[in-house]
């Protein structure tokens, strides 16, 4: 099952990529939302091989996944792969510079069930696909607006 969204961001591609690869910020955000996140690699710099263990509640059950940064191509994009006993998946982020100050951000999530119960979960997600796709695109649009706000704040403080 796939979800995808594209948004144009009024910010340079380098800035957008820098914000998308601020993994510590995403870790803190997940912790604030009640997830448990722990970095499992020993890399000191950002790049392929970074990994995390995460646990969160979804539909009343605790879910545990392992995530790994499998592709890292600054400033063009990255791929995060996830795996759990029940499901695997990929989050693909692609960035394209439309101009010096404008970037197209494309996100795609691909879920692959491994067990019967996860197939049932994905089947129920498919029934609500239009609503979930709409919510995903809306959240990506909100994130794009946040990036634009950060860019504007950074511009105003550096002037």
Residues 65-97: b if buried by 16+ CB within 10 A, e if exposed: bebbbbebeebebbbbbbebebbbbbbbbebee
Give residue for tokens 């607006």.
145
| Cβ–Cβ < 8 Å for 107, 77 | no
Q: Is the pLDDT of residue 31 over 90?
A: yes
Give residue for tokens 């990506």.
140
Residue range 101-135, pLDDT digits in tens: 999 999 999 999 999 988 998 998 899 999 999 99
Q: Residue 93 forms beta bridges with which residues?
A: 78, 107
Q: What pLDDT shows up at residue 159?
A: 65
In angstroms, the CA 46 to CA 49 distance is 9
Number of domains forming the structure of the chain: 1
pLDDT class of 157 with cuts at 50, 70, 90 = confident
Q: What pLDDT shows up at residue 61?
A: 86
Q: What pLDDT shows up at residue 58?
A: 81
Residue range 42-100, pLDDT digits in tens: 999 999 999 999 999 987 889 999 999 999 999 999 999 999 999 999 999 999 999 99
For residue 144, the domain's CATH number is 3.30.530.20
Q: Rounded to the nearest 5 degrees, what angle is found at the Cα of 36, between the Cα atoms of 30 and 37?
A: 70
User: Can you tell me the mean pLDDT for 130-154?
Assistant: 95
- The whole-model pTM stands at 0.91
Q: Residue 51 forms beta bridges with which residues?
A: 68
Query: Three-state DSSP class for 43?
Result: coil
Q: Residue 102 forms beta bridges with which residues?
A: 99
Domain ranges, residue 118: 2-158
Q: Residue 6 forms beta bridges with which residues?
A: 106
């Amino acid at each position: 099952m796939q979800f995808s969204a594209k948004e144009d961001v009024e910010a340079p591609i380098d800035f957008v990529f820098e914000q998308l690869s601020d993994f510590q910020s995403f870790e803190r955000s997940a912790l604030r939302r009640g997830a448990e996140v722990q970095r499992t690699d020993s890399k000191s710099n950002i790049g392929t091989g970074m990994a995390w263990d995460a646990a969160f509640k979804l539909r009343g059950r605790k879910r545990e996944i392992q995530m790994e940064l499998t592709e890292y191509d600054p400033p063009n994009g990255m791929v995060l792969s996830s795996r759990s006993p029940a499901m695997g998946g990929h989050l693909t982020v692609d960035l394209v510079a439309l101009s010096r100050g404008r970037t197209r951000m494309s996100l795609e999530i691909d879920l692959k069930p491994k067990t019967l119960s996860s197939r049932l979960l994905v089947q129920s997600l498919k029934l609500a696909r239009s609503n979930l796709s709409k919510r995903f695109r809306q959240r990506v649009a909100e994130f794009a607006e946040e990036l634009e706000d950060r860019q504007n704040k950074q511009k105003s403080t550096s002037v």
